[in-house]
Each structure stands twice: as C-alpha cells, then as structure tokens.
Structure 1
Amino acid sequence: KHMKTAVIMSEDAAWTKPLDIGYEECLPKIGLKVLDHIRFSPDTTDFTPIFNKIEGSKPDVIITGISHVGVQPTVQWKNQQVPIPMFGISSQATNSTFGKDTNEASEGVIYQGVSGTGVAVTAKSIPFTEAFKAKFGNYPSYAGYTAYDEVYYIADAVKRGGSTDADKLVDALEKTDWVGTIGRVQFYGKDDPFTHSIKYGKGLITGLMLQWQDGQQVAVWPPEVAKAKLKFPSFIKVTSN
C-alpha cells in the first residue's frame, strides 16, 4: 500500500511506553512519517474527539497500542466511518470472540499476534489451537498461546536446573531454548538492555500480522504463512500498489 504517514494512538499505560518508543523509532525507518502521537486514558469511553483529531491530520494509517479499551474504539471507528485503517497492537482483537463483541465492527482491523488460528507457526501451533477450541468452545487469544508455552518451558527449566529455588530457576530459564506454539523461545540475559525479554528475530519469535476478514481472523503476513491478502471495508480509503 502507498502509505507514507501515520498517527500513533495508544492507551496511556506502562506497557505502551516502550511500545511507543519503538513505534517512534521504527516507523520512520520503513517510510512512515509520524504526524501525531496520542496517548489517551484507559478510562476513555468517547473516542469521537480523538478520531476527529486524527482525521484532521490526514494520516494514511493509525498505529495502535490498545488492550483494555479494544472494543470501544473499534466500534466507534466503524460507526463513525473513520476512513483510515488501524494496524498494530490490539490485544482484544486476538480473541476469537472479538467480531461478536464488536458487533462485527472488527472487519478490516489488523493486529499483531504471536500465533493465530490455522497458522502453523510451528508443528505445535495448530494442534494446540484445535484442542483448545474443543475444550473451551473458542480459539485462544495471544495469552492462551503464551501461557501454554510457559507451563512447558518453566517445567523444562525446573528439570534442567534440578530445583525450584528462585535463583537456580532464573539461571535455568536464561538458558531456555524451547520450541512452543509461538516459535522458538529464548531470552535476553540479565545484563542486556531488555533484561529477560523474549528474543525476536528470524528463527526465533517473528510474530504475525492478522486481519479480521468476513468475521474470521486470518494471517496476512509473513507471506510464507499468509492465508489472505489485505482487504478493507468500503469506508476505508487506501491506494493499492
């Protein structure tokens, strides 16, 4: 898509501070000029002024950092026919009930995930999602994948470390090399800038971009696992290559 400008829209919370720093650093590197940076209270219920302000900037895309407020801005984005696509982190959009929760206002929303329905990130991904649905009636959100993997690599660390002592467990976890449902899990060391964060990159955790299309979550990136091409509701104005 011919996108050159963006507005960052994130809820004002501790988790979005490093995220927004990353957005501000990385978006210009891929050719997106940041026109505005909006951090709003997680208690916000009326997003009309925010969307009006964003529309006034005329960006090509809204880059989101939303979790606790995911339903409300999505419904209002659709109801107000905001002609700008939303990409980024939208934790609630990872839930398979998000379409129903928003009365299908989710259509066209693009979000980052670590795994997704029908996507074979690893050989463990699809068997887990199908077993989860069989047991609970719906597919897992991002937290389902990570929690499932955590049980196994923590158990592996206890076994390798021979103890549940905190210091010994940390030492063992630092040496984690575990293939789970979201990819190959390894951690940065205690002296790295992102202490004990999961490592991202080729051959490790790469993440996915998924889009709500026709009431379903489908992978649109990376190409090797994509199930569909981007498409948007009629009120969204984008120019295709």
Structure 2
Amino acid sequence: MKRSAVLIMCLAVLFSIAFAVEPIKIGAVSPLGDITGKESTRAMQLAVKEINDAGGILGRPLQLIIMDDEMKPASGAAAIDKLATVDKVDFFVGGMGSGVHLAEIPALKKYQKVTVWIGAADHNCENAVGADADWYFHLHPWDYQQGEGYGLAWTEIAKKYNIKIEKVFLAYEEGAFGTGSYTSYVDFFNQAKKGQGSWAAVMKQFVGASFKSASFGGGDYRAVLNQAKTFNPDLFVWAGYDADAIPIVAQAKEVNFTPKLFVGAPPGWPANYGKNPLAENVILYGMWSPTLSDVSPAAERFFNAYVKMYGEEPTGYFAPLGYINIYFLAEGIKKAGSLDKDAVIKALETVQFKDTALGEPLKITPSRVIKHQGFKYQKILQWQNGKQQVIWPLDLATAKLVYPFSFKK
C-alpha cells in the first residue's frame, strides 16, 4: 500500500516537473462581449485543454492568453502590442471584426510572429496584410470567396428546387464588414452582366443599401427594408451582426416585407435565436450547424466536447473555427518540431485535415493576395423548427429547402 502511494506521488512529481517547463504562449484577441468572440475563445480553451491533457506539444503545455478587443480598432491594436511586448507570446490567433483587424494589421506586421487568424472577411484586410507576409495564415473565407460560393450555391439550389432567382437585394451594415460585402456583390453583378462568374445565372438585377448596425448604436432598419420591399427581390440578404438578427426580421414583418428568400449573413447569431418564432425559415450563411454532427465525425466530436465542457450548445460557426484555430497551429508546431518561425511556417503550409469541426477538409492554398488561405466557401443553412439545417452543399444537406419564406403565424 505504501509502495503504491509512493509510486503515485513520484509520478505526480514527474508530471508536474514535465509541465514546469516554459509553456508555448499563444495570444488570442477576440471581442469577448460579443457572443461570437465569447464562443470562439471558449472553443480555443477547450482545444488547449484537450491538447494539454494529452501531453502538450513538444513536451510543453500550451498557454492561451486572451485579450478583449471590445470590437474597437484601438483596443485590438493595443492588445497585439501588449501580447507581444508584455506577455511575450510566441503566436497570435483569434479575431472577428474586419474593422478591428485593419487596425491590428500594422502591429502584426511590426512583430511578424506566426499568426493564424479566423476573423475578418473584408478583402481590404488581405490587401493590408500584403503578399509578402508569409507569417500570416487566414482561415475564414474572404468576402469575395464567400460571394463566389453563394453564387454557386444559389445556382445549384435554383436548379434543384426549380425556383427563379434573378433580383438580389443586399442590406449591409455601414462598417468595414458590410461595405466589404457590398463591394464584392457589386463586383459579382458586374461580372454577371457580362455572363461571367458564379452569379451569372441568378443575378439579373442588383440593389444594395446600408444601415447602421445595432452593435454600433443603430437598430432602425425600416428605411432599407421599405427600399427592398419596393424593389421586390427574389433573394434578400442582410449583412450585419448578431445584434441585428431579431430586430431586422421583426421590422420586416412590421412593414409587411416578405421576400421569397430571407437571408441573414452575420458572423454569429444570438443565443437561442432558433427558438424565436421570427427565426422560422430564415436562411443563413454560415460555416457550421449542430446538424453537421449527423454527417461529420469531427463536427460531432467537437460539438459533444463543447457541450460537455460548457453545458450549452455553441450558437455559431466561430466556435468550431476557434477550435480549429488552435488545432491547426498545434499541428504545425508539432510537425515543425520546434518554435522556429521558418520551420513552423513551412509545416503549416503542409497541414491538411480530411475532416474538421466545420464538417469539411482544411488545406492551405493561395487567395488573391496572401499565400496562406484556409477555407474558401460558406454553407447555406435554414432555421427549421428551431434547428439550423444544412441546405447547401447538396452533398452535406440535412434537410430540404422550405420555400417561399413566410412569417410564422
């Protein structure tokens, strides 16, 4: 009995000594007051815990140091500076808003640490990073990649369900995220007018109008909704934030605007949004849904682990993105065999996952500007009976499209 106790004590001491080595420090910057940032950092913490419970990387534990960017550009830039100079992190991860990231990029370029970013869809961020930033890896699709994917998706959906999509209206928040989306739609419309690009078959007319997001003091969408109602689109899309999700649908009902396809495109959705009657049959652009657990083992593992650790389901795709963020970086460090910057960059370039928490593979390829882009397209989902069902890609579909949209009585 005494021998067993001594052995257990020795093992405990050895384990503590092994993890007394300097941790690998990862600096994460996210908007913690926003559900998107909250869930992505939670998922990062989950991934770090799993990796450390399995022995860490290169015999060292991971340490995640989290900073709140408060959805403010100045706060995001200050967070990068602090993590680099005070906390002396080895790597940067995280992100959400494009406007914040534009302010962070000069600081990231100053330190040039290996960075794996999951936020910022605005192509202006890609331009600001530049083609020579080999230390920069971006996992979230850029706005023009998303737009290309949506064109492919609606073309396939229109054909499968024999529906007409010709008139498209985009209501977009007036910040960097929304205006970046609008610029991309304009580019695709100009291509479509020439019979070119992924939207050629489903965009004969296009109109866009801006609104002030509730996340930044706005919240009255009646003007843009009435403009859309007059246009009478086949496809209505709003690009804003989670704070806009409920009031924009409520005000659409108020002004009697009922487009055949009602699509929301925020980076994250409010908790329990699907339980709100206004959510029924609303379509969303996203990268993940809990129902992907039915078709993807990796998505199922992530979902179950997240629920077990936090006692609630994630509401949006930034949670699995955050989880992938850490595992992708960890795999690169592991393959590199050291923290040497050049070795880690080369290793990350070769990392491939056949399946991920998003229910799809991950492989690094160049985008228009940067060398290291991860995911390319989003998915088409629809709220049906409180659940996000996958409509497209068709081979991952978990339900049929409910068409046309109507408000639940």
TM-score of the superposition, structure 2-length normalised? 0.50
Deviations along 1:175-219, one digit per CA (max 9) or x if unpaired, are 332242122222234x8524533242xxxxx53211011222111
Residue matched to 1:213 = 384
Is 47-56 or 123-132 further displaced after alignment?
A: 123-132
In 1, Cα distance between equivalents of 2:181 and 2:329: 26
In 1, Cα distance between equivalents of 2:179 and 2:341: 29
Partner SS, residue 139 of structure 1: coil
Residue matched to 1:148 = 323
Residue matched to 2:362 = 185
Residue matched to 2:240 = 66
Q: 164, 171, 194: which is aligned to 1:9?
A: 171
Q: Which amino acid aligns with 2:318?
A: A
Partner SS, residue 224 of structure 1: helix
Residue matched to 1:197 = 373
Q: Which amino acid aligns with 1:22?
A: S
Structure number, greater radius of gyration: 2
In 1, Cα distance between equivalents of 2:340 and 2:246: 41
Q: Which amino acid aligns with 2:262?
A: M
Contact 1:97 1:138 in 2 (8 A): no
Q: Which amino acid aligns with 1:186?
A: K
Higher helix share: 2
Is 42-51 or 129-138 further displaced after alignment?
A: 129-138
**How does 1:25-104 map onto structure 2 within 5 Å?**
25-26=187-188, 28=192, 29-42=200-213, 43-68=217-242, 69-84=244-259, 85-87=261-263, 89-93=265-269, 97-100=272-275, 103-104=276-277
In 1, Cα distance between equivalents of 2:349 and 2:388: 33
In 2, Cα distance between equivalents of 1:199 and 1:96: 25
Q: Does 1:234 align with 2:392?
A: no
RMSD after superposition: 2.6
Q: 163, 166, 181: which is aligned to 2:338?
A: 163
In 2, Cα distance between equivalents of 1:44 and 1:187: 38
Q: Does 1:117 align with 2:290?
A: yes
Q: Does 1:127 align with 2:301?
A: yes
Q: Which amino acid aligns with 1:126?
A: E
Q: 1:199 to 1:72 in 2, by over 3 A?
A: same
Q: Which amino acid aligns with 1:38?
A: A
TM-score of the superposition, structure 1-length normalised? 0.81
Deviations along 1:145-204, one digit per CA (max 9) or x if unpaired, are 101111111001111223335554334323332242122222234x8524533242xxxx
- Give the CA deviation at 1:88: 5.0
Q: Does 1:19 align with 2:181?
A: yes
Q: Which amino acid aligns with 1:44?
A: G
- In the alignment, structure 1 segments of 5+ residues that lack a partner are 201-205, 237-241
Q: Does 1:176 align with 2:355?
A: no
Contact 2:212 2:219 in 1 (8 A): no
Residue matched to 1:203 = none
Contact 1:66 1:89 in 2 (8 A): yes
Partner SS, residue 382 of structure 2: strand
Q: 105, 108, 116: which is aligned to 2:278?
A: 105
Q: How many residues align?
A: 227
Contact 1:62 1:86 in 2 (8 A): yes
Partner SS, residue 163 of structure 1: coil
Partner SS, residue 92 of structure 1: coil
Q: 1:19 to 1:163 in 2, by over 3 A?
A: farther
Identical counterparts, % of pairs:
22
Contact 2:267 2:318 in 1 (8 A): no
